[in-house]
Structure 1
Amino acid sequence: MPHGSVPVAGGASSSLRHESAHLHVAGEARYVDDVPLPPNAVHVALGLSRSAHARILSMDLSAVEAHPDVLCVLRAQDVAHNQISPVGAGDEPLLAEDHVFFYGQPLFAVVAQTRHAARHAAALAQVTYEDKPAALSIEQARAQGGALVCRALEMTRGDAPQALAHAPHRLAGQLVVGGQEHFYLEGQAALACPGEDGEMRVCSSTQHPTETQHMVAHVLGCPNNLVTVEVRRMGGGFGGKETQANIVACLAALAAARTGRPAKLRLDRDDDMMLTGKRHDFVIDYDVGFDAQGHVLGVDMELAARCGWSADLSGPVTDRALFHADNAYYYPDVRLRSLPLRTNTQSNTAFRGFGGPQGVAAAERIMEEIAFATGLDPLDVRLRNAYGTTERNLTPYHMTVEDSITTEVLSQLAIDCDYRKRREQIRAFNKTSPHMRRGIAITPVKFGISFTATHFNQAGALVHVYTDGSVQVNHGGTEMGQGLHTKMVQIAMREFGLAQERVRITATTTGKVPNTSATAASSGADLNGMAVLAAVRTIKDRLVTFAASHWQTPPEQIQFTAQGVVVGAALVPFATLVNAAYMARISLSSTGFYKTPKISWDAATGRGRPFYYFAYGAACAEVAVDLLTGENRMERVDILHDAGLSLNPDIDIGQIEGGFVQGAGWLTMEELFWDTAGQLRTHAPSTYKIPACSDRPRIFNVRLMENVPNREDTIFRSKAVGEPPFVHGVAVLHAISDALASVDDYRTCPGLNAPATPEQILRVAERLRQRRAGADAQARA
C-alpha cells in the first residue's frame, strides 16, 4: 500500500454489508422494469416460431397490423443489419428471414400502445411452414451427420492410445450431463429512449453493456458513440444475460427509432424460457487406463455438446469443458476432444462455470469408476491423482500448475467433517435399512480464472473525488446480486480511509467507462478491482504530492487513515485536503485501466496459459435416498473453499452457499424437456423445478481457507468466488451414487447420469437390483 495506506474498518478484507441490501429488503432496488416510463412510451412483444426447423412459406400479419392499438410491426426486412452473432459467425439473425431453426425463434416484433395489446396482437399472426428434419438432441445431431456450430478443439499431451493399450487396467464408459435454465428472478428487459441527432439511450438488464451497445448500434446502422447502455443492477444473470440480452435491447431500440418514442420490451417468463439459451448438456465418452493402486495412466475423452441453432458462445464453452476435464487431477498421457453439435433448439450460451462444471463432472466420474474397479475409497483415488507443484503438474493444455493445494484441501476437509468415520457408519446403516439408503462423497475443485478469450481480460474505471471529500466510483463491471459493487466501494474506502457512506457507486454505463468486458468468467472483482485501484492510486499520488508541498512534509510521512490523513504530526480531514488540492488546481478525477498479465492461448495448437491462477476447494456431501420413491435429501454438506485473502468474507460465503445450491439443483432436479416437435415443455415455474428453501442441506457448514493469499498479484491477493463454488454440487451427485451403490453391495459403479431425478434414481436402482440378483444366482449355481 503506497504512501503508508492502512486498512480501515469496513475496507477490503472485511464483511461490509452489500451496498444495495437495504434497498433489496425494502423492495426499493430499481431494476429495468421499475424505471418510470417516459411519457408516450410504447411497448414491444415478439411473435415466435411454432416450428423447430422449417422454411417460412407465408407470414400473414394483416390481423396483427389491424389491431387498433398497434403502431407498427417490425420484420427482418425492416432491420438494416439483421445479424447479432456475438462471435461474428453470421448465423444469428435478429428476426427470422426465410427459415426458422428452433421452436420459439423470433419472427417479428409488434409495437403497440400497451404491453397487453402488443402481446394480444402478436398471437393473431398466421404463419405457414414447410417443415424440415430437425435435430433436437445430441444423438439425433450425430445421426444426421454431426454438423458443428463452430470449430472443435483437441488437446493432447503424451501418447494416450499407447498408454491405454499398455495399462494394467482399463475401462470405458459414458456420462450424460443435462442442461440448465438460468431462472434469474428478473427476466430479460430493456427500455430504449431516443434522443437528438440519432442518439439512443438503452437501460438493459445485461452482463455485457459494451456488447449490447455494439449490437444496438449495428442493427440501427449508426456509430457506437450514438448509443449509451446503462445497467444499475440485474435481478440475477448467471451468464444468461451475457449475450442473450442483446435481442431484447436491439428490438426495443429499433422500436424507439421507428416510432421516435421510448420503447420497452420485457419478456414474460414463458417467452423468456422458450427463447433464450441454456447451459449446454453433454454426452461424454471416456476411456481410462490405470494401475491397481488407482493411479491414472492415460485418458481419452470426447465431450459432445448440444449447442443449439447458432454459434453464440458454444466454442469457448466447449473449450472450457476441456480445460476442466482434468479437474484437480494429473493425467500422464491424455487426449481430450470437443464436439460442439448444431441442433434445432435454443442457442445454448454462457452459464455459471461456462462448461467447466461439465468437464469436472467427467473427471469425477473417472475417479469414481477407478475406485469401484480397485475397491479403494474414492477419496484415496482422488488424493493419489491430485496435481503436485513440482512434478505431475502439467495440464492437458500444457500449462504448469504452480499453486496446487488440492491434497491439503481434501485432507483438511476430510478431517474437519470426519469423513472416514461417517463413511463406515453409513455403510453399516445401509446393511440394515431396506428402503432408505445413505451416501457420502467428497470431491475437490480446481477452477481456472480468466477469460479464455485473452482480449477480454481487461477493464477500465473512472473515479471522481468531489470537493466535499465524497467519492464516486464508476467501473465496467455489472452488479447482478453478487456484491461486485460492494467490493469496488471497499477498495476506494480502504485506499482513501473513508466510511462507506462517503463512497458512492454509480450505474454501469458505456458513457463513462467504454470498451468493457462482460461481467463473467469469475473475473469481475479481479479485473474491475484492479482498474478501480489504479484510478484511486493515481488520485492519491496527486494528493500526496500536493500535501507534501503544501505542508512541507516528506511523502513517506503521509498516510490515509480512518481518522483522516496523517501529514507529518498533523491530522488533516480528508475533505480539507481535497478542497485545498482543488483550490490549488489539482485534478481530482482519474481513469484506471488493468490487463491481466501472464496469460496466452493458442487454439490452433491447444496450448498456452489461458488462466492467471486457479481457485481451489472441496465439498463433502451426505445424502439420504428413498429407494421406493427415488427422492433424495441433502442431510449434511461441508465446504472448505479457497478465496485467497477474501475481499469480503460474508459476501464470499454467500456466493459459495448459493453457488453450491445452484450446482446441486443442476445435478439432481433441474431437467429440461423438449417434445418431438422441438417445443420446450419445461418453460415455466410450473414445469421446471429449481431448489427451494426446503431443499438446502439440513446441516450446512461453509468455511473459507485461512492464510492462503493468492500467489499472483490480484486485488489485495484475493481469489475469484463466482463460478468455482458451483462445482461443489458435484459432491451431491456422487453421494447419491454412493447410496445407490449399496443396492449392489458396492460392487458396481452405478453410472448415475445427471440430473439425478427420482425417475433416474429408480431406473439405476432397478438396474443394480437386477445385476445383484444375477450375480447372486450365478454364485449359487
Structure 2
Amino acid sequence: MNKRVDPINLAVLHTRTRHDSGPKHVTGTAEYIDDMAEPAGTMHAYLGLSTRAHAEILAMDFSAVRGAPGVIGVLTADDIPGENDVSPSHKHDEPIFAEGRVQFWGQPIFAVVAETRDAARRAAQLAKIEYRDLDWLPDVRAAQQAGGKLVTEPLKLERGDVAAGLASAPRRAKGAITIGGQDHFYLEGQIAYAVPGEDEDVTVYASTQHPSEVQLMVAQVLGIRHNAVTITLRRMGGGFGGKETQGNLFAAVAAIAAKKWNRACKIRPDRDDDMQATGKRHDFVVDYDVGYDETGKILAVDAVYGARGGFSSDLTGPVTDRALFHCDNAYWYPAVRARSEPLYTNTVSNTAFRGFGGPQGIMACERWIEDIAYALGKDPLDIRKANFYGVHENNVTPYHQTVGDNIVHRIVDELEASSDYQARRDAIIAFNRTSRVLKKGISLTPVKFGISFTATWYNQAGALVHVYKDGSIHLNHGGTEMGQGLNIKVAQVVADAFGVNLDTVKIMPTSTGKVPNTSATAASSGSDLNGMAAWDACEQIKSRLIAHAAQLYQSDEADCHWVQGGLQVGREFVAFAELVASAYLNRIQLSAAGFYKTPKIHWDRATGKGHPFYYFAYGASVSEVTIDTLTGEYTVDRVDILHDVGKSLNPAIDQGQIEGGFVQGMGWLTTEELVWDAKGQLRTHAPSTYKIPLASDVPPVFNVQIAEWSVNPEPTIGRSKAVGEPPFMLAISVVEALGMAVASVAEYRVAPQLDTPVTPERVLMGVERMKEARG
C-alpha cells in the first residue's frame, strides 16, 4: 500500500481560486431555500410573538385567527407530539412555544399555518392574549443587582497568587467596560421548509450551520428517532453563528405542521420578527482590577465577566467560557483570576456569533492595556509589547496551556514597520496640537485566537467521496456553506489529492443522510475538520487504485506516484479517468467515507485546566481615525492588517474573510447598537434603526496582507490555519484609535474608557469628559 504523506505535500492547494458560487451570487442564480420550487399544496407558517417582556399568560383566544381567510390551523404547545424544547444545552429550557409564561418580548407563543405566507402573517396579528405582567430584568447590571440568577454554570480560570500580586503592585487599574451586543443580520433570514414522507419520515431543508442538531431537534419534537429525519442544505445566505442554534425552532415548526397536515410547509419570518425572536452576540460588562508596575508590566489580573444570557441557556455557557479563554489575548499574566457570570435576563436568549465570546474577552483586556498606557503617559503599543507572551518562557495561559507557536512579536514588528506606524503617530500628535475641532488617533492592536471547539467532542468531521466510472468525483462533507468559501476549499483538497482539475469535483449539498453526526460549522474549524476528513477519504480510494495499478502493470506500489492528471506507474503514465475505468471493471471500490478528529486537545472544565486549542492564529491591525469634537462624528481613514492563516489553502478566499471579518467587527464596535425600550421591546429591529456598515464605511485606504511566511507547525490540512473568526477582532484597533483621538482633548493624560459600540454620541460624551478633566 502507498505511504500516507503529510498533507503539507499536497500540490494543487494554496492557489487563488474564486468562490465556487461567486458568479451565481452576483447574477442571482444561486439557489437558496426560498428559491426552491414548491410542490402543490405547500403550506406557510408564521409565528405569533409575545408583546410582554415577562408575564403570565392568562388566556389565549384564537377564534379570529382560525376564521381568517386561508388559515389551515394554529399550532401551540399542545400540538407538539414530542418534547416542547429546542435548547442545545442539557437544561431543556427553550420551549418552541411558551407555556403559561413568556420571558421576553418577541418570544414565540403560537404559529399560524395558512395557504399563503401573507395570509398566515396577517392572521397572526388577530390573536387575543391576556397577560399579567411580572418584574423583568433588562440587562447585566439589573441582573447583578437583583441577585445574579445564572442561566448556566459559571467558569473560573485561575493561575498564580492573584491576591499577593495585586497587593504588591505599585499601581492599579480598576474599572469596568460595557461591551455591546450585535445582531447577525444575515442577508438570508431564518427559513425552513419541511416535506413529509411515508411513515415517520420527514425531510427538512433548513438554513442552518448545524444540520445534525436540527435533525436531533426535529426528531425530539416529533417524538421519533433520528433516522426518520433528513436535513439538507445547499447554502446559506450568511450565518455568522446566528444559524448554529437559532434555526432549530423554525425547522421544528415547519416539521410539526408538515406531519400534522401531511403537506409541505415553509416558514420565513419578516426581518423585524427575525431580529426580535432570535438571539444575538452577548453584551458584557467586565469589572476588572489589574496590578502593574512603573514600566507597564502587568503583575496580576482579577476580572469578572458579566454577560446578558437571556431567558435560557442556549450557548451562553460555552460563549462565556471562551470569553475567559481570551481574557489574555496575546499577553502573559504572572497571576490571573477570571470569572464568568452568565446572567438570566428577560431578553431573547443570546447565542453564537463570530468569535464566540472571544471578541468580548479580548476587548476587555485591551481596555486595561489602554488604561495602563494613559496612566503612565506611554504609547499603548509599548505596553502591549512589554506584556506579550514569551517564546520559551512566560508562555502559560490562564487555562494552563503552553503557547508553543507564538509569532505575535514578528507579526506586530512587521506591521509596525510596513504601516509606518511610528512616523504616522508622531504626525498625528503634531496635528492634534494645532487642530481645534478635528482630532486624529492611531492604534496598533494584536490578536491571538485559539482554534478548536472547547467542547472536545465537536472536534470531529466526516466526508463521503465517490469516484464515478468516467472519472468525475462527487463530494459530500459535514460542513455547511454560508458564503465563507468552505466548499471550494474542500473541493480543492479533493482535486489536489487525485491530481485532477477542480471542475472534476462536484460539490453536493450537505445532508445528514450522507454524512451523519456532524459538528456545527463554527469555531473557525470548518476547513480544518472537513478538509482533513475529505483528504482521508481520498487517501483510502487512492490506496486501492495504487494497489490495482501495481498489479495491472506488474510494478511495486513504491513505484506508483500521483502526479497531475493521473498516476505514474514506473515509466507508465495512467490518466485518472482511464485508471478509474479500469478499476471499476476489476471491481475496485471507488467510494470512501473519511473521518478526522483533532489530536492533542483536552479540557477539564471543573479544574479550569487543559489544552483546549490545537493551535493559535495571530494577526495585527493599525487603524487611523479622525473625529469631529463638535459633533462626535468620525471617519476611519486608513487600516493596515497583517494576518496569519498559516499556509493559505486559498489566498483569495482568505483575504476576503480577513477584509469581511474586520468590517463586521468594526460594525460591532462602532455603529451596531441594540436598544430596548422601557417595556422590554427591541427597538432596533430593522435596517432603518440598526446600522450595519455600508460600502462607504470601508476605509478608503485598506491594506490587507497575509503573512505568507507562516506555516502551521501542526499537521493541519495543507498546514493552513483557520481564518473565519480571528480577523474579526482586528477591528479593536478602531476603538483604540478613537480613544486616542478623544484623549487628545485632555493632552492624553486621561484614559478615554469608551464603551462599545463607540457611536458618535459616545465619542461626543467622551470629548466632554476630557474637557472636564482638562479643566
TM-score interval, smaller chain: over 0.9
Moved over 6 A (4+): 3-10
Q: List per-residue Cα deviations over 1:751-773 (Å, max 9, x = no partner).
A: 11100001111111001101101
Deviations 1:146-166 (CA, angstroms, capped at 9, x unpaired): 100001111110111110011
Amino acid at match of 1:53: H
Deviation of 1:563 after TM superposition, in Å, equals 3.5
The answer as to whether partners of 1:711 and 1:717 remain within 8 angstroms in 2 is yes
Q: How does 1:162-311 map to 2 (within 5 A)?
A: 162-311=164-313
Aligned-pair distance for 1:4? 8.4
Quote the residue 1:121 is aligned against. Answer: 123
The separation in 1 between residues aligned to 2:657 and 2:341, in whole angstroms, is 31
| Equivalent residue, structure 2, for 1:69 | 70
Q: Bigger CA drift: 562-571 or 336-345? A: 562-571
2:403 to 401, 404, 419: 401
2:608 alignment counterpart = 606
| Partner SS state of residue 763, structure 2 | helix
Query: TM-score under structure 1 normalisation?
Result: 0.98
Distance in 2 (alpha carbons) for counterparts of 1:144 and 1:77: 33
Residue among 334, 345, 348 paired with 1:346: 348
In structure 1, the residue matched to 2:664 is: 662
Q: Is the 1:231–1:507 Cα contact (8 Å) retained in structure 2? A: yes
What's the offset of the Cα at 1:6?
A: 11
Q: One-letter code of the match for 1:93?
A: P
AA paired with 1:581?
A
Any idea what SS the aligned residue of 2:621 has? strand
Quick one: which of 636, 640, 652 aligns to 1:634? 636
Alpha-carbon distance in 2 for matches of 1:406, 1:283: 28
2-side partners of 1:561 and 1:59: how far apart? 69
Is structure 2 residue 559 aligned with structure 1 residue 557? yes
Q: Which whole-Å CA distance do the structure 2 matches of 1:547 and 1:177 have between them?
A: 61
Matched, 1:94 2:96: yes
Q: Deviations over 1:447-479 (max 9, x none)?
A: 000000011010000000001000011000000
Note the C-alpha offset of 1:627.
Answer: 1.1
User: Take 2:565 and 2:490, find their aligned partners in 1: how far apart are those partners?
Assistant: 21
Correspondence for 2:315: 313
d(CA) in 2 for partners of 1:36, 1:627? 55
For 1:477, the aligned partner's letter is G
Match of 1:111?
113
| 1:512 aligned residue | 514
Name the CA distance, whole Å, in 1 between partners of 2:331 and 2:586. Answer: 59
Q: Paired residue for 2:427?
A: 425
Per-residue deviation at 1:573? Answer: 1.2
Aligned to 2:550: 548
Distance in 2 of aligned mates of 1:61 and 1:707? 65
Q: Distance in 1 between matches of 2:335 and 2:457?
A: 31
Partner of 1:47: 48
Among 679, 690, 707, the alignment partner of 1:705 is 707
Alignment partners' CA distance in 2, 1:78 and 1:521: 36
- The AA in structure 2 aligned to 1:552 is Q
Residue 370 (structure 1) shift: 1.1
For residue 133 of structure 1, what is the aligned residue in structure 2? Answer: 135
3-state secondary structure, aligned to 1:197: coil
Q: Distance in 2 between matches of 1:15 and 1:255?
A: 45
1:776 is matched with which residue? none
Within a 5 Å distance, the mapping from 1:436-455 to structure 2 comes to 436-455=438-457
Distance, in Å, in 2 between the alignment partners of 1:162 and 1:708 is 39
Match for 1:330: what amino acid?
A: W
1:26: which partner in 2? 27
Whether 1:755 aligns to 2:745 is no
Report the 3-state secondary structure (helix = DSSP H, G, I; strand = E; otherwise coil) of the residue aligned with 1:527: helix
Counterpart of 1:17, as a letter, is: R
Question: 1:317-336 residue pairs with structure 2 within 5 A?
Answer: 317-336=319-338
Q: Which residue of structure 1 lines up, in the alignment, with residue 418 of structure 2?
A: 416
Name the aligned partner's letter for residue 624 of structure 1: T
Q: Determine the C-alpha separation between the residues in 2 that align with 1:680 and 1:24.
A: 31
Letter in 1 for 2:25: H
Q: Does 1:337 align with 2:339?
A: yes
Native 8 Å contact 2:355 2:728 kept in 1:
yes
Picking from 731, 741, 744, the partner of 1:742 is 744
Q: Which SS does the other structure have where 2:667 is aligned?
A: helix
How far 1:626 moved relative to its partner? 1.1
Q: Is the alpha carbon distance of 1:391 and 1:3 closer, same or farther for their aligned partners in structure 2, counting shifts above 3 Å?
A: closer
Give, in angstroms, the shift of residue 713 of structure 1.
Answer: 1.1
Where does residue 35 of structure 1 map in the other structure? 36
CA offsets 1:602-651 (integer angstroms, 9 cap, x no match): 11111111111100010010011111221111111010001000000010
Cα distance in 2 for residues equivalent to 1:7 and 1:447: 22
1:564 offset after TM fit, Å? Answer: 2.9
Question: Conserved in 1, the CA contact under 8 Å of 2:139 and 2:308?
Answer: yes
Task: Deviation per CA, 1:473-511: give whole Å up to 9, x if none.
Answer: 100000000000000000011111111110011000000
In structure 2, distance between residues paired with 1:349 and 1:159: 34
Partner of 1:57: 58
C-alpha distance in 2 between matches for 1:7 and 1:711 = 10
* Conservation of the 8 A alpha-carbon contact between 1:4 and 1:560: no
Relative to 1, partners in 2 of residues 1:345 and 1:7: Cα closer, same or farther, differing over 3 Å?
Answer: closer
Q: Distance in 1 between matches of 2:31 and 2:558?
A: 44
**How many angstroms does 1:561 deviate by?**
2.3
Q: Is the 8 A contact 2:306 2:340 kept in 1?
A: yes
Structure 1 residue 420, shift from structure 2 partner:
0.6
**Displacement of 1:8:** 11
Q: Distance in 2 between matches of 1:703 and 1:11?
A: 22
Instruction: Decide whether the 8 Å contact of 1:3 with 1:555 is kept in 2.
Output: no
How far apart, in 2, do the equivalents of 1:493 and 1:302 lie? 49
Residue type at the aligned position of 1:618: A
TM superposition score normalised by structure 2: 0.99
Q: What is residue 591 of structure 1 aligned with on the other side?
A: 593
1:357 corresponds in structure 2 to: 359
Distance 1:600 1:296 in 2: 28
- Asked whether the equivalents of residues 7 and 494 of structure 1 are also in contact (C-alpha less than 8 Å), the reply is no
* Amino acid in structure 1 at the alignment position of 2:502: Q
In the other structure, the counterpart of 2:729 is: 727
Aligned residues: 773
Conserved in 1, the CA contact under 8 Å of 2:7 and 2:719? no
Cα distance in 2 for partners of 1:214, 1:445 equals 36
CA shift for structure 1 position 168 = 1.0
128 and 772 in structure 1: CA distance in 2 versus 1, 3 angstrom threshold: same
Q: Provide the secondary structure at the position in 2 that maps to 1:172.
A: strand
> Secondary structure of the equivalent of 1:440?
strand
The AA in structure 2 aligned to 1:290 is Y
CA deviations 1:129-172 (Å, max 9, x no partner) are 00000001111111221100001111110111110011111120
| Distance (Å, rounded) in 2 between the aligned partners of 1:639 and 1:543 | 45
CA distance in 1, matches of 2:87, 2:592: 34
Amino acid at match of 2:122: H
Partner Cα distance (1:49, 1:10) in 2? 56
3-state SS, counterpart of residue 711 of structure 1 = coil
Paired position in structure 2 for 1:14: 15
Q: In 2, Cα distance between the equivalents of 1:9 and 1:91? A: 47
Residues 3 and 557 in structure 1, CA contact (< 8 A), matched pair in contact too: no
- For the residues of structure 2 that align with 1:672 and 1:10, how far apart are their CA atoms? 47
Tell me the CA shift for residue 708 of structure 1: 1.6
Seq. identity, %: 57
- The answer to whether the Cα contact below 8 Å between 1:279 and 1:350 also exists between their aligned partners in 2 is yes
Q: Match of 1:196, SS?
A: coil
Is contact 2:746-2:774 (8 Å) kept? yes
Where 2:308 maps in the other structure, the secondary structure is: strand
Alignment check: 8 A CA contact 1:4 1:556 kept:
no
Letter in 2 for 1:67: A
Contact 1:7 1:497 in 2 (8 A): no
